[in-house]
Amino acid sequence: MEGRLTILVAARDEEECIAGTVEALRQQFPDAELVVADDGSRDSTEATAAAAGARVVSLPHRGKGQTLTLAERELAPGPLLLCDADLRGDVAGLASTDADLTVAAFVRPQGGGFGLAKRVARGLVARRSGYAAREPLSGQRYLSEAARAACFPLAAGFGAETAMTIDAVRAGLVTAEVELALEHRATGRDLRGFVHRGRQLVEILLACGPQGRNFRGLRLPIVGLAVGVVVPDVAPVAAIGAVDDRWSGPERGFSEHVRSGSTTGVLKLVGIPLWALVKTRSLSGAALVALCANTLNQLDARPGRALKAFLLGVALAGARPRRALAVAVLLAPYDLREMVMLGDAGANALGAVVGLNSVARFTGWRRWGAIGALSALTVLGERRSLGRLIETTPVLREVDALGRYPG
């Protein structure tokens, strides 16, 4: 074993079982550092874990994947053992293989559902990596230093384990599963159990879709294509943005993209105005739409910022694009809580919605005034970050922070 082992346990509202789990792990691995990542528990999980001898990292409620990711950053380098808080049994066998990622397979199957989430997870792992996983959802995992580097940051929520297996296999690391006599608290076939498994299934699907990194370096699903699905008028813009989300390079701003030549940013610079020209049949209309799309894209650097700008934009335009408003309102709490990202697909598409509605209402000097104001913002964004301007302006800073996690 290379380096000192660290055991990391994610826990939320586990006051009844966390002490037993900590004590058992301390007996199995007396030389390891044992850390409990408390995911915003509403009971005495934190105090109980500390009293049992664990180091506790206290975090606001973010879900399993993000909680493990943020806690992992505070740990010393070396191999890592991940365990669930309600675990019962001996997991020492996980650290005795030569694999980079070793996953516990329960000798006796656990779970009260119909196995749909597990079957979907197995299929996604096989499709994305070619690996036939028996236990794609098992939270009991040993990671070598190489696997730790390849898999963190983890995918958000309950999709963390499925994406972890895919990442390790695709990185060329040795992955194995070992049968262990373990038990955990299984959810039943009641309303609460089905809600939990439904959420688990959604998060598994999101974890295996397009992913991005936010300003904290957290790994989040990019859901901006939903704007193009709900609002077909801007679907081409969402598609162009999705290409940039998937294949963009390190270039930032107009000048860097132009100097670099054939980049996904150049595709946006050319593709969105051409689409807008066809859509509006007006040079000024195309300019207004393209500038609106670019402005929202520039603002999409912090959670909720682009959505707030979208709502302000449609209000200034005196428009009520019902479908776009509906998808914005539905996505807002998830974006603000750093559970999903709009990405270029969503930000550009929502900006195009503002632009199209502005073209329909602004004519003459009003349209050219809007073009001038947005052009000035674009130039300012090239020379100085719009985000920095917002963060140093008291009123804008307060509005920007509304509804968002602190920090």
Amino acid, res. 320 = R
Domains of the chain as residue ranges with CATH: 6-207 (3.90.550.10), 214-401 (no CATH)
In 10 A of CB 348, how many CB atoms?
35
Interval 243-258: pLDDT, tens: 999 887 666 665 665 5
CA distance 355 to 373: 13
Q: How many residues does the chain have?
A: 407
The stretch 232-249 carries a mean pLDDT of: 92
Banded pLDDT at 111 (limits 50, 70, 90): low
Classified as helix, coil or strand, 78 is coil
Rounded to two decimals, the pTM is 0.86
High-pLDDT (> 90) share of the chain, %: 79
Give the pLDDT score at 250: 66
Interval 267-298: pLDDT, tens: 899 999 999 999 999 999 999 999 999 999 99
For residue 153, say if its preceding peptide bond is cis, omega within 30 degrees of 0: yes
Interval 49-78: pLDDT, tens: 999 999 999 999 999 999 999 999 999 999
SS3 sequence of 309-354:
HHHHHHHHCCCCCHHHHHHHHHHHHHHHCCCCECHHHHHHHHHHHH
Question: For 111, what's the count of Cα atoms within 13 Å in the CB-facing half-sphere?
Answer: 17
Banded pLDDT at 262 (limits 50, 70, 90): low
Give the pLDDT score at 199: 86
State the burial class of residue 164 (Cβ atoms within 10 Å of its Cβ: 0-12, 13-18, 19+). Answer: buried
CA distance 22 to 174: 28
Banded pLDDT at 171 (limits 50, 70, 90): very high
Answer whether 221's CB lies under 8 Å from 208's CB. Answer: no
DSSP single-letter state for residue 301 = T
Give the pLDDT score at 303: 95
Give the pLDDT score at 247: 85
CA distance 39 to 52: 18
Of 14-18, 239-243, 246-250, the one with minimum mean pLDDT is 246-250
Q: Is the per-residue pLDDT at 381 higher than 60?
A: yes
Mean of the per-residue pLDDT values of the chain: 91
Residue 380 backbone phi and psi in degrees, to 5: -60, -40
The stretch 118-141 carries a mean pLDDT of: 95
Answer whether 35's CB lies under 8 Å from 62's CB. Answer: no
Classified as helix, coil or strand, 87 is coil
Question: Residues of 123-139 as b/e, b for ≥16 C-beta within 10 angstroms?
Answer: ebbeebbebebebbbbb
Banded pLDDT at 162 (limits 50, 70, 90): very high
SS3 sequence of 28-52:
HCCCCEEEEEEECCCCCHHHHHHHC
